Amino acid sequence: MKKHNYSAGPCILPQEVFEKSAQAILNFNNSGLSLLEISHRSDDFVAVIEEARALVIELLGLEGKGYKALFLSGGASLEFLMIPYNLMKENGKAAYLDTGTWASGAIKEAKIFGETVVVASSKDKNYNYIPKGYSIPADADYFHCTSNNTIFGTQMKEFPSVDIPLVCDMSSDIFSRTLDFSKFDIIYAGAQKNMGPAGTTLVVIKEEVLGKTGRTIPSMLDYEKHIKAESMYNTPPVFPIYASLLTLQWLKKLGGIAAIEKLNNAKAALLYAEIDRNPLFRGSAVAEDRSTMNVTFLLNNEAHTPIFDAMWAEAGISGLSGHRSVGGYRASMYNALPLESVQVLVDVMKALESKV
């Protein structure tokens, strides 16, 4: 039986994506060849990457606005250094918001390149909230933030208006909610949280922000070179890109981001309502900053842990344990997780209440 998969990433994908991508490995487009053995320069694969890049721009509402989508390798973690390489001027400076482990990972890399101003941090409370009311230096080369903090279960509901390039790590909530994506100059996301399998990173770039640093950038780390090569500067990760395309097609068929946002809001409302109602549990993020993607919560009485763990495992739930830096539980409810899976978890939480 298929499990209710709450894994934080790599994560659940639509069942039809698993089926179609498995088929493509055996016989791609009825070509008598596997997706894995054809040239990335073949017409069949060029059509895949072109459609994937175009669908990204379409779903984000960025058509005709000067943006390009790239499918790169190296994970979101490589973007931590590609961002300063491509945007921070020699002797320039960058501004960052520190909202968690991934944000501080990005800050660490930026410091290698130049002055890195941390405008605010929620580290004082183990990142259980999103700082607000900070000011961003107007002379910074860019401002970097993390829209959703996968580990701590917080999510930015609003983004600052700035006159400098706005860069956002959207790894764990891209395509999950409607936003004015044209506010951002660079958006990046490792595929494996909400778009596809691990192995490719989506980078969406407003082209006009590039080429201003005066730095010599190694070719593989240069966004301009990747854009010029149509995201095929070198052999791209063909399988993750193909599976990502299938997920994007699935999302479009469903009605796009606006449609999935409704479902995601319903899932989050259902689970948070139970966390707040059930006297055995409490949420770990402050209410106003709660993530709709990664829901972090704790048992009030640690002694209930083995009973609860056995109950959810018995109900066919997988991947619910919290990150080691927070403890407790983390229910990652990415786009492909159905509402029924959330109901199963809520029913287990209720059953625990009547059992202990």
Minimum CB distance to ligand PLP smaller for 53 or for 193: 193
173 is catalytic: no
Minimum CB distance to ligand PLP smaller for 75 or for 338: 75
Q: Which of 99, 116, 122, 150 binds ligand PLP (CB under 6 A)?
A: 150
Burial of 139 (0-12, 13-18, 19+ CB in 10 A): exposed
Minimum CB distance to ligand PLP smaller for 102 or for 308: 102
Q: Closest distance between ligand PLP and the C-beta of residue 105, in Å?
A: 7
Minimum CB distance to ligand PLP smaller for 76 or for 345: 76
| Residue 190 contacts ligand PLP per CB under 6 A | yes
Burial of 115 (0-12, 13-18, 19+ CB in 10 A): middle
Give, to the nearest 10 degrees, the angle between helix 15-26 and helix 238-254. Answer: 140
Q: What is the C-alpha separation between 55 and 47, in angstroms, rounded? A: 12
289 is catalytic: no
User: Active site residue: 68, 98, 102, 206, which one?
Assistant: 102
Q: Which of 5, 9, 204, 245 binds ligand PLP (CB under 6 A)?
A: 9
Minimum CB distance to ligand PLP smaller for 243 or for 299: 243
- Known binding residue 169? Answer is yes
Whether 328 and 257 have beta carbons less than 8 Å apart is answered as no
- The total number of residues written for the chain in this structure: 356
Minimum CB distance to ligand PLP smaller for 104 or for 178: 104
- Long-range contacts (CB closer than 8 Å, 24 or more residues apart) made by 75-80: 75/190, 75/198, 75/201, 76/102, 76/169, 76/171, 76/188, 76/189, 76/190, 76/201, 77/105, 77/190, 78/201, 78/221, 79/106, 79/169, 79/188, 79/201, 79/203, 80/105, 80/106, 80/108, 80/109, 80/110
250 is catalytic: no
- Known binding residue 216? Answer is no
Q: Which of 21, 116, 171, 231 binds ligand PLP (CB under 6 A)?
A: 171
Task: Kindly report whether the peptide bond that precedes residue 10 is cis, defined as omega within 30 degrees of 0.
Answer: yes
Q: What is the C-alpha separation between 4 and 12, in angstroms, rounded? A: 9
The residue written with tokens 């607000």 in the block is: 132
| Residue 172 contacts ligand PLP per CB under 6 A | yes
Q: Which of 61, 75, 256, 316 binds ligand PLP (CB under 6 A)?
A: 75
- The torsion region of residue 316 among left (phi > 0), alpha (psi -120 to 50) and beta comes to left
Binders of ligand PLP in range 90-149 (CB under 6 A): 102, 146
- Known binding residue 234? Answer is yes
Q: Closest distance between ligand PLP and the C-beta of residue 193, in Å?
A: 5
The site that binds ligand PLP (CB under 6 A) totals a number of residues, namely 12
User: Active site residue: 141, 169, 185, 289, which one?
Assistant: 169
> Could you tell me the CA-to-CA distances from 204 to 57, 79, 114 in Å, in that order?
8, 11, 24
Region near ligand PLP per CB under 6 A, out of 70-78, 204-212, 221-229, 347-355: 70-78
Binding site for ligand PLP (CB under 6 A): 9, 75-77, 102, 146, 150, 169, 171-172, 190, 193
Binding residues: 41, 76-77, 102, 150, 169, 192, 234-235
Q: Which residues are annotated as a binding site for L-glutamate?
A: 41
Catalytic residues: 102, 169, 193
